[in-house]
Amino acid sequence: MSDQSTQPSILDDYAAEQRELYELLVTLTDEQWRLPTPAAGWDVRDQVSHLADTEEVAYDTMTGGPRTINEDAKRYPSGEAFTEAGCDRGRQMAPKEVLVWWWDAAARVRTTLGEIDQSTRIPWGLGMGWQAFVTARLMEHWAHGLDIRTAVGAPDPTSETDRLRHVAWISSRAVPYALRVAGKEPPADRTLRFELTGPNGDVWTFGPDDATDIVRGPAAQWCRLAVQRIALADAPDLSGDGPLAELALAHARAFL
């Protein structure tokens, strides 16, 4: 499997990712909504509030609404302040209200993504193609879902399904961005390929067949590393063959 673009099911998988998270959240007590998550200072309600807020922003960005990401973010002194504002809004709500806020916003985003032309370039940051944008939203829900599931002691179903392939794809493509954020210059004349093992034992490959450098190992470890839910020391089965591969592992980052 060399390219996610050959897979037609990304929107269905996005819906499945959200649906499984909803099915967990609807069972939680108010006390569980207040449990701390691995994100410092955030409880479960904060995590869901962040997802609800970013889904609203995603919808407005696609439709030209008042909260397009590139304009709305300018109202805040930093990206952290922008993110925290969504959590602050949720802190004024009861858990059930936050759940409805997120679920309704998510439904609007899914509907819009199903209606717009897939050749559309969505003005998120420097701009994203339809495929990458849907995948980024799936990745966002998976990453924050990990935090929520850790807090309440629930398993992560995505890591047992091929939906993880989407996260692996977009995080492999994010390596140049990750190196720019880290201030690292990639070595000249090096190219990168990923050979990641999915939950069913399939090997997912991303990058040129004749790449000079290769990252190998379990997709679940790479994806967790890329969304910064684990450190490289906690991913013992990942290996990097070549200097660019080593840099990719050291500075993996798949989000703004």
Pair (23, 134) in one structural domain: yes
| pLDDT for the residue 195 | 98
Domain final residue, candidates 111, 134, 155: 155
In 10 A of CB 141, how many CB atoms?
22
Pair (141, 185) in one structural domain: no
Q: Give the phi and the psi of residue 203 in degrees, each rounded to 5.
A: -100, 120
Average pLDDT score over the chain: 94
Tokens of 196: 């990641």
Pair (219, 138) in one structural domain: no
Pair (145, 172) in one structural domain: no
Pair (132, 179) in one structural domain: no
Q: Is residue 51 part of a domain?
A: yes
Pair (123, 79) in one structural domain: yes
Residue 78 CB-density burial (10 A; 0-12 exposed, 13-18 middle, 19+ buried)? exposed
Q: Could you say which residues of the chain have pLDDT below 50? A: 1-8
Pair (105, 209) in one structural domain: no
CA dihedral in degrees (185, 187, 188, 192; nearest 10)? -110
What's this model's pTM, rounded to 2 decimal places?
Answer: 0.92
Distance in angstroms (rounded) separating the CA atoms of residues 196 and 206? 9
Distance in angstroms (rounded) separating the CA atoms of residues 28 and 12? 25
**Alpha-carbon distance values, 211 to 4, 192, 194 (Å):** 18, 5, 9
CATH no. for residue 62?
1.20.120.450
Distance in angstroms (rounded) separating the CA atoms of residues 241 and 135? 27
**Amino acid symbol at 82:** F
| pLDDT for the residue 156 | 86
- Identify the domain containing residue 201 by its residue range: 167-250
